[in-house]
Each structure stands twice: as structure tokens, then as C-alpha cells.
Structure 1
Amino acid sequence: MDAMTSEKPRQSWRGLWNISFGFFGIQIAFGLQNANVSRIFQSLGSDVGSLALLWIAGPVTGLLVQPIIGHFSDRTWGRFGRRRPYFLAGAILAALALLGMPNASVLIAAALLLWMLDASINVSMEPFRAFVGDMVAPSQRTAGYAFQTAFIGAGAVVGSLAPFAMAKLGVSNVAAAGGIPDSVRYSFYLGAVAIFGAVLWTVLTTREYPPEQMQAFGDAQAQYHASSFSDASLPKILTTAGVVLIFLGALLTGTIYRWSLERDLYVLGGLFIGGGVLMLAASGMIRARLENALVQIMSDLVRMPGQMWRLALAQFFSWLALFVLWIYTTPVVAQYVFHSTDAAAKAYNDGADWVGVLFSVYNGVAALAAFVLPVLARRIGAPRTHMICLLIGAASFASLLVIRNQQTLLLPMVGIGLTWASILTMPYVILASVLPPQKFGIYMGIFNFFIVLPQLVVATVMGAVIHAWFPTEPIWTMACAAVVMTMAAAAMLLVRSEPNAAA
């Protein structure tokens, strides 16, 4: 390949397939997690009000892992490439967690394995977003992210349907109290094979551009690694932000203690304080002229492009709704449609299996919609397209409040599938038009703050809301999801349509 090439060559459809195929296996694992972890927790003795706190492993690990992986993958180069070593390491660890989780005999073991699974999926998933930016020309970015969305949807269909399909094949979907059904157990084994095999496919069939070729494309390392010492105002900005976060965390913690609120909320207060301390530490390191990962991550965080900040607000609200969906759909469907709250009962497990079907429907719709949404975006712009899809999602969540027939539940899943496709595609199309190509890794990691922070909020706040206002009526969690999805759509009014954002 000519070292003086100034533009990345266009990828064939086979090339785009290979670049994103690993996401198929990742999403099989993610689909299994989303549709079955609440079921596993309840089978091991968790009550509905405690589910969100048990899910807290995911956002905590995502908050820590994604920006770190983004930071180091931007700086990695070796015989195995730049992003691929992270794909493969995460896939191996996720496969081990999938093998272990359905064999957990106590609740704490299942929670720890969820922590390991989510961290490993994050290690594999985060570089894949940057991988598209690395491997495709700007004119193909929408197609690249559409392929990712299609594989996300297809993989999640397989993961969500697996226990239901196992039951249809005669594998038992019930177990004694405290046990995990064989249909779930074997599905997790399938997921372990799938994530390792699919990621290995991408690793073996793609070759990343070496640093000198990236330099020819304008992705030089020197362009990316601007020193944090060059901005004299940066220490002051970090110090101010750190003090504000610590104050808010202390205020929240004091309020929780004074009014004897749910202890889950201490996690949120600790998150604010911890973030503030890290910002103060980064400020001190800059003053001492110490350059390291913490300094780079915090510096890039406070210097995010304005368009990214505005988009992050919509991202935050939309993912609040998604985490409510993933955590509470199983108890809602089991109680209101299958009329059971006993995790050991056949009716409950039939309901949990049907949730897998519902999730497979919305993911299947997303896989198909991924190639339709760019057409709409070219006509009305990516921000408006995303806003319309978010409003459809809000209406779909609201309909779950009144539907009591399992077949009719498929209808709102179509709307949620369209919303899910947009969430997985449009924000990244918009971001690709404003982010420097050299910063895809770190900024995709930072953008994921606004995916994992909502889960932390749901994990710490929703349990308290349930206990305080509707301890035996989890259906109202879907009303909360509808409200915040509407807020996400309103936030998109702040996002400008950028040139080439829907290319």
C-alpha cells in the first residue's frame, strides 16, 4: 500500500463485515446478560427492590474500564495491532465469566461474576467503536456504524432467544429453589463460545493500519497527544470542577444520612466525591508537570467539544430508560402478564422466557432499521432523526403500562427496536463529524461515561423509588422510563446538524 496515501481506501462489504463481526458475539453475551441476570439474581434469592443495586457492577466497571481502555488503545501498537489485543483479551475473560455465572450457587458469587462479565465486555466493546474510525474513510462511517448496529441487533436476538429456544427443544426452564434452569445454563455456555469465536474472526480477518500509514491518513500520534501542559487554564478548570463535584457529593451524602434515605444512594454520593478527587489529583499533576493516563483522561474530559456535551445530555436520559427496561422487564412481565412473582414457579420462568422473545424482537427490528435510518437522516438530518426515534421509544414504554397480553407486548418492542437502532447509530454518526480522528479511542471511552452513569443512577435511585412509592408494583418503572426518554428527545433540540453527519 502506498505510504503517501492521504485518504483511507474504501472498504468492501466483506471488509465492513469483518471489521464489525466481533460485535455479533459480544452482543450475544450482552443479550444473555440483559435478559437473564435479573432472573438469576431472583432465583438465588434477590427481591425486586434489590435488583438494581446488584446490577451496579456494570456501570462501575464501565465507568472505570472504558476511558482507560480507550486511552491505552490509542497508544498501543505491536505485532497484533492497536485495538485487536483488547478485543481478544476481553472476549476470553467474558467467556470465562459466562461459563461461571449460571453455576453460581449464592447471590454474591453471581454478582461478582456479573462484575467480571461486564468489565470484560467493556474491554472488548469500547475499542470496536474506535476501530470503525480507524479502518474506514469518513464517507463510509455511517455504513460502518450501521454494520455494527446490525450485528448488535442480530447478536442480541440470538442471546435473548437462546433460553426460550432451549426450552422449546425440551431443555428444562425450571429449577429447584436456589437453582438456575438448564435452559439458562446451556445458553450461557453457547454465549461463551460465541463471543470468543466472533471476536477471534475479526482479529484474524482484519489488519490494522500501522502508525506510519495512520500518519499518512492524518492520524499521526503527534497530532493526538497534545500536551496537557500547553493549556494554562486547565489546572484551574479541573480544580473548580473537582471542588464542585466534592461539594455535591458531600451534600448528597449528608442528605442521605440526615433523612435516613436508602443506603444505595451512598454509591451516588461516593461517585461525585471520587470524581472530584480525581480531578483535583489531575490538576495537581499538571502543575507538577506529570503526564500520565489520569491527566490525559481528565484533560480530554473537560475539553470535550461542545456538540459532544450537548449530545451527552440526550445520551444520558435515553440510557436511563434502557437500563430500566433491562432490569425490570422480567419482573414486570412475570407479574402482570404471567401472574407470578415466585422465581421458582413455572409461570414466572415462562414469563422470563417470553422476555427473551420480546428482547429478540426489538433487537431484530434494530438490526433491520440500522440500514434504513441513514436514509431518513440524509433527508432530515441525524439530530431530528434521533429525536423522532426517541419519541417513538417514549410512547412504546408508556404502552407497557396498559398491555396485559403477551402477544400484544410485541408491538411496543417494534418501537423500542427502532429507538435502539437510533441510539446505537445516530450519536456516533453525529460524533464522527466533530471529533478529531486521532481521538476516537479516548473520546468514545469518555462518551460512554454517559452510558454508564445512567446505569449508576438507576442502580442507586430506582431501588429507593420502588421501596418508597410502589414496592409491590414494578410496572411504574416503565412510566419512569417513558418520562426520561421524552426528556432525551427534548435534549436533542440542543444538538446542531453537522456537515457530513448523515453521510
Structure 2
Amino acid sequence: MTTSVQDKPTLSFWQIWNMCFGFMGIQFGFALQSANVSRIFQTLGANIDDIPILWIAAPLTGLIVQPIVGYFSDRTWGKLGRRRPFFLYGALLTSLALCIMPNSPTLWIAAGMLWIMDAAINVTMEPFRALVGDNLPKKQRGLGYAMQSFFIGIGAVVASALPWMMTNWFGISNTAEAGVIPQSVTYSFYFGAAILLLAVLWTIVSTKEYSPEELAKFEDPEITLAFSQNSTLPFAKIGTGQLGLGIVILAFVYVLSLGKDIVFLGGALVVFGALFLLSNQMQTKGNTSNGFYTVMADMMSMPKTMKQLAVVQFFSWFALFAMWIYTTPAVTSFHFGSSDVASKAYNDGADWVGILFAAYNGFSVIAAVVIPLMVKKLGLKTSHMINLGLGGAAMISFAFIENSDHLIYAMIAIGFVWASVLSLPYAMLSNALPSNKMGVYMGIFNFFIVIPQMLAATILGSLVRYVFNGEAIYALTLGGISYLIAAIAVTRVTYNK
């Protein structure tokens, strides 16, 4: 890097606090979604092996929305600034969706609301990641992402425990007649909607942004040059391969009468292949000044560090999605002995999952303080490898822990891996990106969060149904193995220290 480039002024602790505070509100929405949507789906009549395909809305929405939001937020400047307009509009829509979701009368409406809710969360969340790169000098970016992890943990602790708190502190029922969402869940979503909106508004009114002209003064010309070089990109090769693979999968689905989740996987590959071929046509004709081509070209021109981290993110988020989808059905059936959504045992187990989720998010708050100390002593890679290994062991342990109370100990490790996944990959990546593409590349980086989630949503249902004999607990074991693979992959990452 060019050492003569002037870096941004350092911000005070409270300026960073205010800048990241809105992330607590976002996590209220995200944690309520991850801890309760499977419960809502089952209450409205979803079979356990249909849950992953119903969850497909979440990752698919992120795949589409985040790079688009990143692209436009890189190019936005107005009264509210660059990223803050997206904070505001996303928060308003997310709060509305949170209020509607627990009142869904049918399963298909709940699935549709998940789609809308996740789109809105992504509109708000992606610019928050870019804001750290925009406003902080290189030496403070690690602190900024750690602060985001801290607020994620705080928000998720409270949000995940809300249904349990509503029942045990305020006497609101956690059971209802068949097909009706319990009031404890409904009121939790209302409360979360209010907190989300207030927290995001706090960041909007308390945080300033650099204008595009001011950011240009801090830009390293070597990074800018690296991202401005033009070359012919192999869209045709990749598109043809994806299209062909998708057609083969769809043919197998037809011949072998496989499930609809596998149909989605084949269809997604066909669509993505077509998008790459469309990009190739635009490249051939010189039609490269539009947003679609820019995002596709930027994705093909990722820096080496980002490509290496993509593998780590893939296996990390596959594990996380397996946990979010299957912890409720796994714990209620394996540890509480019931899959009847109207039974007390099932609902007690579902409430305990909320506490477990609150616990790992609580431990992630502690981890957000400890991890910077680990990094100082061991470095980014070694620290992340250790945390991923701990997470893998914890998820595998679910199948060996018989007493549900003891699952709380596994949540300590899950808290550390969660805080690590939310901070250390971004710390390794951020210095490799130019400010004028920070938003779009943070959105593209989300691909490697979304793609494994889509894969999990399309294959886990079939694995649980055909391989694991309907035992959801083994989906968590598979997630643990995925964490261990990510721990090995992170050792191969190279980055600018």
C-alpha cells in the first residue's frame, strides 16, 4: 500500500458506539426471525422436511437485494447522506413486516412475509457494513466490526428470549389452539418492531458521513487502480457450466421423482447460468455501463483475499443456517420428546431454544470483547480458526448431550464462533476494498453467506428425510462438520495486516 496516503481521522469511542447502535435494532428483527419462524411455520401446518424450502426466501432475498443496495448506496448522496437513507427505509419496512408476520392466517402468507421481512432487513443491514469502511480509518475498522458484533449480541439476547420472557415474566400464554400463533410470540414481534425502528433512528440522527469528494481524498490510488483495470471476463465459460449442471439436476429430478427442494437447486443454477451468459453478451457488445453488468463484473474481479474468505464464509454459514432451521425441531424431538406443535412439551422445548439462542448471543457479547485480545495475541487467522473449531465441536455435541439443560454450555462456543464470523472475515477483507466500491463488494461478499444458506435450504430437507430418517438432530451434526472444514480453510487466507 502507498504509505503517504492520508488516512481518515480516528473517531471517539462514543462516535463508533452511535454509528453501530442501529445494528442492535436490526438484530432484534433478525433474531426474532431466526428463533421463531420455524415455530410459526410448524404451527401453521408445515411438515418438518418442508421447513428448509420455506426458509429459502431469506437467503434468496439477500442474494438479490444486498448487491443492488450496495451498488446504489455507493452512488447515493443527499440530505441523509450515503448509507442512512437505506437505514431509514429498510427499518420502516422491517418494522411493518414484524408486526404482520405473527398474524399470518396461513402458511403461504407467513412464507411471503418472511420474504418481505428479509428483503427489508437486507436493505438496512448491508449499508451498515459499508459504513464502517466509509467512516473509520484502517486501524479502527476491527474495533468497528467488533462493536457491531457487540450490539448484535445485545439485541439478539433480548430478542431471542422475548417469547420466554413474555410467558414467564408477564404471564402471556405460550400455547394456543391449533393453527394459531401463541400470544407470547405475537407480542414479542410487536416489541421487536418498535426497538428496531428506534435503534436505527438513533444512528441516523447521531452519525455523520463523508461526502464522495471527502472519501476520494483518503483513497489509496493503488487500490483504485487495481479495481479500474479492464479485462475480458470468462462469463461464457462459467454461465455454460452452471446452465448445464442445472439442466442435469432437473433431469435427475424428473427421472427419479425427487423433491421440490432439489428442483429449486437445479432451477437456481439454470437462472444463474443465464445471468452469466447475459453478462457475456453485454461484454461482447460493449454494453457495460449499467448496474447489472457492473455488479457481475465486480463479482468476477474479486481480490484474492475475498476469494479465499469466500470458502471460509461458505462453510461457516452453511453451519449457521443448519442451526437456525433445525435447532427447534431437533431439541423439541430429541431432548423434549415431542413433535406435536400443540403439545406443552413441544412449546416448552421451543421456548428453551429461544433461551439457548439468547445464551449464544449473550456469550457473543463477551466474545466481542475477548476476540480483539485474541487477535492481538494470536492474529486474525489463528483466532478465527480456533473459534470455528469450537463452534464445530459445540454443534456436534448436541447429539451426545442428553440433558437439555446442559446444552447451555455448548452455547458458549456458539457465541464465540458467531461473534467471530461477524467480525474477523470483514476485518481481513475491508482494507482490500476501495471506498467507491465498498457497498457493492460488501453486498457481493454476502453471496458467500447466501449461497450456502440456499444450498442448506435445498438439500437439508432431503438429507433429513432420506438419510437421517427424519432425525433433525443429525442436521446439527452436519453443521458442526461444516464449521470444522471452515476452520481448515481459514488457514489458507492471505491478507494485508
- Please give the TM-score of this superposition, normalised by the length of structure 1: 0.95
For 2:18, give the aligned amino acid: N
Shift of 1:486: 1.1
Name the counterpart of 1:318: 316
Name the counterpart of 1:148: 148
Name the counterpart of 1:195: 196
Aligned residues: 490
Instruction: State the alpha-carbon separation in 2 of the partners of residues 287 and 232 from structure 1.
Output: 12
On the 8 A contact 1:49/1:471 being kept in 2, the answer is: no
Structure 1 segment 222-301 matched on structure 2, within 5 A: 223=224, 231-234=230-233, 237-290=234-287, 291-301=289-299
Shift of 1:135: 0.8
Q: In the alignment, which of 409, 424, 435 is matched to residue 426 of structure 1?
A: 424
Instruction: State the alpha-carbon separation in 1 of the partners of residues 122 and 466 from structure 2.
Output: 33
Instruction: State the alpha-carbon separation in 1 of the partners of residues 309 and 226 from structure 2.
Output: 24
Instruction: State the alpha-carbon separation in 2 of the partners of residues 461 and 358 from structure 1.
Output: 25
Instruction: State the alpha-carbon separation in 2 of the partners of residues 218 and 233 from structure 1.
Output: 26
Instruction: State the alpha-carbon separation in 1 of the partners of residues 66 and 104 from structure 2.
Output: 27
Structure 1 segment 209-224 matched on structure 2, within 5 A: 209-218=210-219, 223=224
TM-aligned CA distance change 1:213 to 1:231, over 3 Å? closer
Instruction: State the alpha-carbon separation in 2 of the partners of residues 233 and 282 from structure 1.
Output: 11
Instruction: State the alpha-carbon separation in 2 of the partners of residues 480 and 386 from structure 1.
Output: 20
Name the counterpart of 1:363: 361
Structure 1 segment 40-439 matched on structure 2, within 5 A: 40-168=40-168, 169-218=170-219, 223=224, 231-234=230-233, 237-290=234-287, 291-439=289-437
Name the counterpart of 1:447: 445
For 1:295, give the aligned amino acid: Y
Instruction: State the alpha-carbon separation in 1 of the partners of residues 40 and 421 from structure 2.
Output: 27
Instruction: State the alpha-carbon separation in 2 of the partners of residues 179 and 53 from structure 1.
Output: 22
Shift of 1:439: 2.0
Instruction: State the alpha-carbon separation in 1 of the partners of residues 387 and 144 from structure 2.
Output: 20
Secondary structure at 2:406 match in 1: coil
Instruction: State the alpha-carbon separation in 1 of the partners of residues 483 and 227 from structure 2.
Output: 37
Instruction: State the alpha-carbon separation in 2 of the partners of residues 472 and 263 from structure 1.
Output: 17
Instruction: State the alpha-carbon separation in 1 of the partners of residues 7 and 236 from structure 2.
Output: 40
Structure 1 segment 447-486 matched on structure 2, within 5 A: 447-486=445-484
Instruction: State the alpha-carbon separation in 1 of the partners of residues 182 and 231 from structure 2.
Output: 59
Unaligned residue ranges in structure 1 (runs of 5+): none
For 1:269, give the aligned amino acid: G
Instruction: State the alpha-carbon separation in 2 of the partners of residues 226 and 366 from structure 1.
Output: 35
On the 8 A contact 2:224/2:434 being kept in 1, the answer is: no
On the 8 A contact 1:331/1:474 being kept in 2, the answer is: yes
Q: Which moved more, 1:240-249 or 1:178-187?
A: 240-249
Shift of 1:238: 1.3
Instruction: State the alpha-carbon separation in 2 of the partners of residues 44 and 288 from structure 1.
Output: 50
Instruction: State the alpha-carbon separation in 1 of the partners of residues 212 and 309 from structure 2.
Output: 31
Structure 1 segment 5-16 matched on structure 2, within 5 A: 6-16=6-16
Instruction: State the alpha-carbon separation in 2 of the partners of residues 425 and 128 from structure 1.
Output: 13
Q: Which moved more, 1:285-294 or 1:426-435?
A: 285-294
Instruction: State the alpha-carbon separation in 1 of the partners of residues 191 and 136 from structure 2.
Output: 31
Instruction: State the alpha-carbon separation in 1 of the partners of residues 120 and 398 from structure 2.
Output: 32
Q: Which moved more, 1:391-400 or 1:244-253?
A: 244-253
Instruction: State the alpha-carbon separation in 1 of the partners of residues 226 and 103 from structure 2.
Output: 45
- Please give the TM-score of this superposition, normalised by the length of structure 2: 0.96
Shift of 1:225: 11
Secondary structure at 1:370 match in 2: helix
For 1:95, give the aligned amino acid: S
Shift of 1:287: 2.6
Deviations 1:84-120 (A, max 9, x none): 0111111111111100010011000000000000110
Shift of 1:259: 2.1
On the 8 A contact 1:319/1:451 being kept in 2, the answer is: yes
Deviations 1:260-280 (A, max 9, x none): 222211111121121121112
Instruction: State the alpha-carbon separation in 1 of the partners of residues 231 and 315 from structure 2.
Output: 34
Deviations 1:204-261 (A, max 9, x none): 11111112211222289x958966xx62422xx1121111111121122222222222
Name the counterpart of 1:23: 23
For 1:231, give the aligned amino acid: N
Deviations 1:21-65 (A, max 9, x none): 110000011110111000000000111111101101001101100
Instruction: State the alpha-carbon separation in 2 of the partners of residues 96 and 177 from structure 1.
Output: 25
Shift of 1:470: 2.6
TM superposition outliers: structure 1 runs of 4+ over 6 Å: 224-227
For 2:24, give the aligned amino acid: F
On the 8 A contact 2:389/2:484 being kept in 1, the answer is: yes
For 1:241, give the aligned amino acid: I
On the 8 A contact 2:215/2:435 being kept in 1, the answer is: no
Deviations 1:359-389 (A, max 9, x none): 0110111111112112211222211111111
Secondary structure at 2:172 match in 1: coil
Q: Give RMSD over aligned pairs.
A: 1.6
Instruction: State the alpha-carbon separation in 2 of the partners of residues 31 and 421 from structure 1.
Output: 14
Instruction: State the alpha-carbon separation in 1 of the partners of residues 119 and 226 from structure 2.
Output: 26
Q: Which moved more, 1:249-258 or 1:123-132?
A: 249-258
On the 8 A contact 1:219/1:437 being kept in 2, the answer is: no
Shift of 1:471: 3.7
Shift of 1:432: 1.6
TM-aligned CA distance change 1:293 to 1:219, over 3 Å? farther
On the 8 A contact 1:91/1:196 being kept in 2, the answer is: yes
For 2:181, give the aligned amino acid: I
Shift of 1:404: 2.1
